[in-house]
Structure 1
Amino acid sequence: MEEEEEAIGFLDKVLEDEDVFLLEECELGTPTSPGSGSPFLVAVKVEAGKGLEMRKLVLSGFLASEEIYINQLEALLLPMKPLKATATTSQPVLTIQQIETIFYKIQDIYEIHKEFYDNLCPKVQQWDSQVTMGHLFQKLASQLGVYKAFVDNYKVALETAEKCSQSNNQFQKISEELKVKGPKDSKDSHTSVTMEALLYKPIDRVTRSTLVLHDLLKHTPVDHPDYPLLQDALRISQNFLSSINEDIDPRRTAVTTPKGETRQLVKDGFLVEVSEGSRKLRHVFLFTDVLLCAKLKKTSVGKHQQYDCKWYIPLADLVFPSPEESEASPHVHPFPDHELEDMKMKISALKSEIQKEKANKAQSRAIERLKKKMFENEFLLLLNSPTIPFRIHNRNGKSYVFLLSSDYERSEWREAIQKLQKKDLQAFVLSSVELQVLTGSCFKLRTVHNIPVTSNKDDDESPGLYGFLHVIVHSAKGFKQSANLYCTLEVDSFGYFVSKAKTRVFRDTTEPKWDEEFEIELEGSQSLRILCYEKCYDKTKVNKDNNEIVDKIMGKGQIQLDPQTVETKNWHTDVIEMNGIKVEFSMKFTSRDMSLKRTPSKKQTGVFGVKISVVTKRERSKVPYIVRQCVEEVEKRGIEEVGIYRISGVATDIQALKAVFDANNKDILLMLSDMDINAIAGTLKLYFRELPEPLLTDRLYPAFMEGIGEAPRT
C-alpha cells in the first residue's frame, strides 16, 4: 500500500502541469486528488497493485508525460508549415523573420524528444530488472544547449507572437486555439491550448526531467550500471537550470473559468501578513486576474496537502494606497534588533552543532532533532525580521498589510500587479465551488515550494558566502532627466534579503558619481541587489515611524555572488543594467576566517588594534572614550533609524573617524555631529572587530556559544 501511494504521489508531481489531466480533474470538482477520468492513473494503480518495482513506475509515468509533451510540440509546429508557405505570397500572414522568431528551435527540441521517446518506450514495455537506459537520459541532458538557445529567445518569441496577434486577426485565431492530441488511451481526442501556454512547455520540461532524474536515482542501486550515467545527467541538468535566465515568468495553465477563459499563475511566494495584530506567514498567489492569499492546511499523513484561502481580491478591484492614505493605517512596530540578533546567534550555534554531529557520525535522530530546532528559530526570524509595509486595498472592502525585508521584492510584486492591471479586467465574485477549484490548483501550480529558510536547503546546495563584501558604487548613466539620485545595496541573509548600504544623494544630475565604498557583512549570501532611487524631499510624504519608503525606484538589478569571481585579492569591476540605467561598481570579498583573524598588536598609541585594558588605563575610565561617544551619538539621533548597526556606512567616512579617534583629535565631537549615523555605527563595529582579543574572550567563547544553543525560546 505504501509503495502504491508513493507511486501515485510521484506521478501526480510529474503530471501536475499537464493540461489534459488538470482539466479533467477540474471538471470532476476534485482538484487535489487524482481524477478517475485519467486512464493513465487508473492503469498505474492496477500495476502498482501487482507490486512492480518503483523504478519501472517512475519510468512509466515519465514516458506518459513525455508523450503528452511531444503532442504539445507537434501542435506548436502544425501551423508553422502553412505560415511559411504564405510568407512568400503576396498576402503573407507573417514574415519569415517573425515565423523563425516565434518557432525558434521548436523543431530541434521536438526531434530530440521524439528520438528519446522512441528509444525509451520499448525498454519500458519489454521490462526486465536488468534493463539499462541511463545513456538515454545522459544524451538528453547533453542536448540542453538547444534549450539554452530557446530560453534566450523565449521573451522575444512571446512579444513577437503578441504583436502579430494584435495586428493580424488570422494569426490571432490560430494562436488562441491550437489542438493538442490526447494520449493514446485517452477519451479526449484533442484539447485546445493557446500558443503562449505551449511556448512555456519547453522551459517547464527541463524542471520536470530533473525531478524524474532525482526519483530514478533514489530507486536505482548504487552498483547498477545506470547509476553513474543518471548522476551525470542530473549534474548537467542542475547546472543548466541554475544558469538559465531566471527572469522568465512562470506561465502555467491554472483552471478554466465558467466563461471559458484561461486563468494563469504569474507569481507566487511566501509573505508575512499583519493580521489581527499579529504576524502570519502566508503563501500569496498572483493570477492573471486575481490575487489570492492562502495558508497551507495541515492534513493527515498520506493525504494531499491543500491550501486554505484566507482572502482574495480581483485585480480590477485592487488599489495601492498612497503614502498619505497609509498614514491612517495601523503603525507597524519593528521587532527589537537585539532579539533578532539573538535568533541569528542561536541559528549559527545550531548549524555548528549539526556539522559537528555529522562529523562524529551521530545518529540521524539526533541530527534531525537539531535541524528541527534550527528550523523553528529560522522560521521565527523569517516571521519577525521584515519591516517594510506592502499595503493593498480592495476598493469594495478591506485593506491588507504585508511586511517585507526588501524594497526590491515589494517593487517586484507591485510591478507584476500593475502590469496585469493594464489589461481590460473585470470585477467578479467567485462562487464557493470556483474558489475551491482555484485554491485547490495552488498546490500544483506553485513555483515556490519551500519556506525560504536555510534548513530547507539540500546538503549539497551552496552554503553561500560568509565574511565581508567590499563594494564601491562608482557611477550611473542612462537617466533621461536630472534628478536627486542614490543607490541602496541588498544581500540575502538567513534566507531573506535585507538592505545593507546606502550611498549619499547626488543632487540634480543625469550622471551621478558616488565613488563610495561599503563593507557589507555576508551571512550565507548568494546574491547582491542594487536599487537606484530618486530622492523625495516632500516632507509631508515621509513617515519614518511606519518604515515607509516613498522615494521612487528608478531601476533595480541583481547579480549572483560567484565565489570564484569575488574570492580574489583584486577588485572585480562590473556593470549592472536596470531599465536602461547602467550602474558601475567594484567588489572584493574577505572570508570570515580572514576577517575574524586577530593578531596580537604591539601598537600602544591610539585606540584601534590596542588592548582594551591599555586604552581604559590610559584614559582612566572603565569604558573607552570611542565607545561612549559613538553610543551617545547613536542614541541622540539614530533611534528612529531602521537598521542602525545593520546598514553599512561609507568606508571613507569610517576611515576618517578612525583616524581622528586614533589621533585623539580635538575636532572629534564636531566631526561626529556632522557624520552620517551609519558611519558612526560602522566605526564602533570596526573598533570591536580590530581588538586584539574579542570582548567575549577566546577562553570563554565556547561556553558562551553553548549557552546560546541551550537558551529557551521566548
Structure 2
Amino acid sequence: MEPVSHQGMPRLSWIDTLYSNFNYGTDGYDAEGNEEHKSSREGSETMPYIDESPTMSPQLSARSQDSVDGVSPTPTEVLLPGVSSDKGLLMRKLVLSGVLASEEIYINQLEALLLPMKPLKATASTSQPVLTLQQINDIFYKIEDIYQMHKDFYDKLCPIVLQFDNKTTVGHLFQKLASQLGVYKAFVDNYKFALETAEKCSQCNVQFFKISEVRTALLYKPIDRVTRSTLVLHDLLKHTPTDHPDYPLLQDALRISQNFLSSINEDIDPRRTAVTTPKGEPRQLVKDGFLVELSENSRKLRHLFLFTDLLLCAKLKKTTVGKHQQYDCKWYIPLADLVFPSPEESEPIPQLHATPDHEIEEMKAKISVLKSEIQKERKSNKGSSRTIERLKKKMFEYESWLLLYSPTIPFRIHNKNGKSYFFLLSSDYERSEWREAIQKLQKKDLQALALSPFELQVLTASCFKLRTVHNVPIISHKDDDESPGLYGFLHVIVKSAKGFSHSSNLYCTLEVDSFGYFVSKAKTRVFRDTTEPEWNEEFEIELEGSQCLRILCYEKCYDKSKLNKDNNEIVDKIMGKGQIQLDPQVVQSKNWHDDVIEMNGIKVEFSMKFSSRDMSLKRTPSKKQTGVFGVKISVVTKRERSKVPYIVRQCIEEVEKRGIEEVGIYRISGVATDIQALKASFDASNKDILMMLSDMDINAIAGTLKLYFRELPEPLLTDRLYLAFMEGIALSDPAAKENCMMHLLRSLPDPNLMTFLFLLQHLKRVAEKEPINKMSLHNLATVFGPTLLRPSEVESKGHMNLASDIWSHDVMAQVQVLLYYLQHPPISFSELKRSTLYYSTDV
C-alpha cells in the first residue's frame, strides 16, 4: 500500500500511530494537561461516546515544515490585532491546513489498521491459516472503504489549500464526504461484533494476539473522526461569509454529520476503563447523568454512574477554591442484585409534596427575565462584568431549582438484598435509556460483589475524571456563543412508521427540551392492529429555547392489571425511540423539511417547519364577513343573533360532555388536520358539524376552540384595554385591584364580555377535575392567557426584540390576568352591567 504523501512523507510506524497525540479538541475533560488524553486512549477496548455538541475550538496543529519537506501547508501568518480585512480568509485557511495535517495522520492510522490484512488473507488459503477468510472480513469490515474515502478527500483538498484565496471553494468536498457517512454507519453496526471476533481469535491463536491488541487500540479512530469532522465544519461555517458559495454546502454537510451522530449514539455505549475489579477485570463506565432522587421525602440532585457491574449514586462535594472537586458516594447496587419492580409489585410512591404548576411557570418567567437582562447588559457599552456575573449566579439558582422540582415521571430500582431507590425524571425517553442500559448489562454473566471501603473510595474518586456529563443541563453553563435554541412554534407532521415485527396498537409521542429538561408535547392517536401505522397527524409545538426533538413509539396496553402504583397509569411498552437536532438553518425554511428517525429497526417518517414567536403574533385586519374564523366577534354574534358565538358554545359543550377528564385537555396538541377540517366546517356552516364534533378526537376540538380565539382579528380582551389590564394586575392593594379589574371587564363590548364569562365558567369546571385531568387553574391560564390578552402588532415589536422574551414579564402578566378572574368568585354579567351606573366607562 502506498504512503499517503505524494511528496515523500514517511508513513508512521505502528507505535507512532498508536501513540500519536494529534488532538482536535474533542476528548473532553483534561484537568491535568495532555497526558490525561493520552492515557485515556491507551488500552481502550470499547468505542467512546460521540460528543454531538462540540463546545471547544479545535487546536489546529501540523508538523513543522522544517522537519519534513512537503507536508500539508500550515499558515505561518499571525492575525495581528486590528487587522480584519483578510481575517476570514486566514481563519479558513488555518482550519483547512489543520484538516490536511489531521487527515495525513488519520490515513496513516487506517493504513496501520490494514497492514496485517493482506498477510492474513494470504495464509487463509493455506493448510495452517491464522484466521479464516470470514473472520478477516468481519474484523476489517469497511476499513478499506473508509481509507479510500479519506484518501480521495485528501488528494483533492491538498492542491486547493496550497493555492487558497477568497474565490476558492471546498464545500463540495465536505458535502461529498458527509454524503458517504453510510460507510461509517455500517462500520459502527459491525463494531462490537468485530471486537468480539478479534478477542475470540486472540484467545485461541497466539499469532493473532498482538495484532488484536493494536487493532483494539485503533478501532475507535474512524468513530472519533466523525466528531472531529463536525468540529471542522462548525469552524469553517463560522469564518465563511453567508453569501460565499461554500456556505450552503457546508451547512448541508454539517446537518448530515449531526444527524448521523444522533442516529448512531443510540447504539454506542460510552464506556471508559475505570479501575480493575478484585478479579483483575476492567470495570468500565457505561453511562452517567444527573437525576433527581427522592430521599427522605425530599428531592436531591444526584449524579448516577452506571459501570459494567454496578450502579453508583454520588453527590458532588462542595470544595474550596483551588481544590479539585470530588464525589461522595451515597450508595451503590451490584447489577447482579438490581431489579426493576413490575407494576403490580411496586410499592406506593413515597409521600411527596408536588410543586404547584404556577410556581414552575413563574420560575420560568424569572429565568427569561434574567436572560433578557444579561443580554441587555452585554449589548450596553457600560455593561459591567460584575453585574453580568451577579445575574448569571441568580439565574443558576433559579435554573437549579427548576431542574430539581419539575421532574414528575417515576423511576424505581430495587436491591433484592436491601432497599428501593426512587428517582423522578422529566422524560420517558430518559427513563427508557437508563432501564435499557442496565438490562443490557444484566444479560451478561454477572457475579454478586461487595466493595471494600478502600475499593469504594478508589471507584468514587475515579468518577470525576471518568464522567461524560460534566455539567448540570442548564442554560447558565452554556458558552456565550452557543445557540440559544429556538423560540416559537414547531409544526410537525408524524406520517408513518415501518419495521415492526408483529401487529400492535401503536402511537407516538413528541418531546422537546425546555429550560434544560425534556417535556412531552404531543401524542398521536392509537393505530390499531397494524405493522405499518399511517398517522399523518400534524401538531403545533411551542418551543422555549429548544434544540432537540425526540420521537417515542409505543405499543398501547389495555390491561388494567398493569397499573403503575407510582402514578396510577397503565404502562405502555416503548417499541423505539430516536431524536434529531433542531438545526435553525433547516427548520426555519418556509418549506416543510422531510426527515426519518431510525429506532431499533423501526423507521418513523415525519415533516417539520418552524415559525417564530413574532410571526405567530401577527394579526391582519378582518376583511371577510362570512365564516367565523378571523371575523370580529361582534360581527359573528350579530349574524347568528346570539350572545356567544356558536363555535364557542359547541366546542365547550363537547369538551364538557366527553373530554373534561381527559389528561392534559387544552395542553395536549390536537391533530392539525382534524382542527383544519373543523375550522372549514364551522366557516361553511356545515349542517353535519354536530356529527363531526361527536366523532372527532377531543384534543382536536379543544385545539379548534384555541385556534378560534387566536385568529380573532382583535384579542377577546381587546387591544384598547391591553395596557390597562397590565397596569391593573400589577396593583398591590387588593381593593384597588378588585375595583380596577372589575371595571375593565365592564369596559369590554357586550359580545366580548359574554363570551369571556362563558369561557371562564367552563375553565373553572375543567379545573375542578384537576386530580384526573392534571389541568389546574394556573395550567389553563397559561394556555389561554396569552391568546385572550396579547399586545397589538405595534406594541409587540417593542417586546419581541429578543427571542427568549417568550416568557417575558408581559407574558407572565397575561397569565396572571386570566388567573385572577379564574380564582375570583363567580362573576355575573347582569351584576357587572348594573354596577356600570356607579362607574365611568372611560379607561
TM-score (norm 1): 0.71
**In the alignment, what sits opposite 2:163?**
none
Name the CA distance, whole Å, in 2 between partners of 1:379 and 1:206: 33
For 1:162, the equivalent position in structure 2 comes to 196
Across the two proteins, how many residue pairs are aligned to each other? 603
Asked if the contact 2:289–2:469 (Cα under 8 Å) also holds between the matched residues in 1, the reply is: yes
Instruction: Give distance in 2, aligned partners of 1:503 and 1:307.
Output: 42
Identity of aligned residues (%): 75
Deviation per residue, 1:234-283 (Å, 9 max, x gap): x9999998565241322211111222110111111112222222222221
Cα shift at 1:591: 2.4
1:434-492 deviations in whole A, cap 9, x for unaligned?
11111111111111112112222222222322222222222222222222111222222
**Residue 445 of structure 2 corresponds to which residue in structure 1?**
424
Query: Residue 270 of structure 1: which of 286, 290, 293 is its match?
Result: 290
1:371-410 superposed matches below 5 A:
371-410=392-431
Counterpart of 2:587 in structure 1 is: 566
Q: Which residue of 2 aligns with 1:542?
A: 563
Decide whether the 8 Å contact of 2:292 with 2:299 is kept in 1. Answer: yes
1:304 alignment counterpart: 324
Which residue of 523, 531, 550 corresponds with 2:544? 523
Does residue 717 of structure 2 align to residue 683 of structure 1? no
Residue 85 to residue 529, structure 1, CA distance change in 2 (3 Å): same
Residue 478 of structure 2: which of 453, 457, 461 is its match? Answer: 457
1:485 to 489, 492, 506: 506
CA distance in 2, matches of 1:298, 1:344: 27
Q: 1:295 is matched with which residue?
A: 315
Give the conservation status (yes or no) of the 8 Å contact 1:391–1:401. yes
Instruction: Say which of 339, 362, 378 aligns to 1:342.
Output: 362
Task: Determine which structure has more spread, i.e. the larger CA radius of gyration.
Answer: 2
SS at the partner of 1:302?
coil
- Aligned equivalent of 2:374: 354
Describe the superposition over 1:61-86 as per-residue Cα deviations: whole angstroms up to 9, x where unpaired.
xxxxxxxx999999978976874564
Structure 2 unpaired stretches of 5+: 1-28, 44-105, 151-172, 235-250, 716-787, 800-806, 815-843
Q: Label 1:299 to 1:615 Cα distance change in 2 as closer, same or farther (>3 A).
A: farther
Are the structure 2 counterparts of residues 105 and 283 from structure 1 closer, same or farther at C-alpha, using a change threshold of 3 Å?
Answer: same
Q: 1:494 is aligned with what amino acid?
A: F
Partner of 2:333: 313
Corresponding residue for 2:129?
92
Q: Is the 8 A contact 2:230 2:258 kept in 1?
A: no
Instruction: State the SS of the aligned residue for 1:685.
Output: helix
Name the CA shift for 1:284/1:77 in 2 (closer, same or farther; >3 Å): farther
Larger displacement relative to structure 2 (660-669 or 503-512)? 660-669
Distance in 2 (alpha carbons) for counterparts of 1:299 and 1:237: 43
> 2:373 is matched by which residue type in structure 1?
E
Which segments of 5 or more consecutive residues in structure 1 lack a partner in the other structure? 1-8, 24-68, 113-140, 181-194, 215-234
- Counterpart CA distance in 2 for 1:532 and 1:475 is 11
The 3 A distance-change label for structure 1 pair 409 and 321 is same
> Would the alpha carbon gap of residues 256 and 514 (structure 1) be closer, same or farther in structure 2, given more than 3 Å must change?
same
Contact 1:270 1:282 in 2 (8 A): yes
Instruction: Indicate conservation of the 8 Å contact 1:354/1:370, yes or no.
Output: yes
When residues 400 and 201 of structure 1 are mapped into structure 2, their CA distance, relative to the original with a 3 A threshold, is farther
Most deviating of 418-427 and 197-206: 197-206
* RMSD of aligned Cα (Å): 4.8
Of the candidates 223, 226, 245, which is equivalent to residue 261 of structure 2? 245
Change in Cα spacing, 1:504 to 1:206, as seen in structure 2 (3 Å) is closer
SS class of match (1:574): strand
Aligned to 1:50: none
Contact (CA 8 Å) 2:362, 2:812: kept in 1 or not?
Answer: no
CA 1:202–1:569: 2 relative to 1, 3 Å: closer
1:546 counterpart SS class: coil
Q: In structure 1, the residue corresponding to 2:437 is in which secondary structure? A: helix
1:303 counterpart letter in structure 2: K
* Alignment CA distance shift 1:636-1:271 (3 Å): farther
1:138-160: CA deviation from partner (whole Å, max 9, x where unpaired): xxx99x97997667624413312
The CA distance in 1 between the partners of 2:187 and 2:594, in whole Å, is 28
What's the CA shift for 1:542?
3.4
Range that drifts further, 300-309 or 571-580: 571-580
Alpha-carbon contact 1:574-1:584 (below 8 Å) kept: yes
Structure 2 CA distance for partners of 1:368 and 1:609, relative to 1, 3 Å: farther
The TM-score normalised by the length of structure 2 is 0.61
Corresponding letter in the other structure for 1:156:
N
> Which amino acid in structure 1 is aligned with residue 396 of structure 2?
F
- SS of 1:468's equivalent in the other structure is strand
Separation in 2, partners of 1:708, 1:591: 16
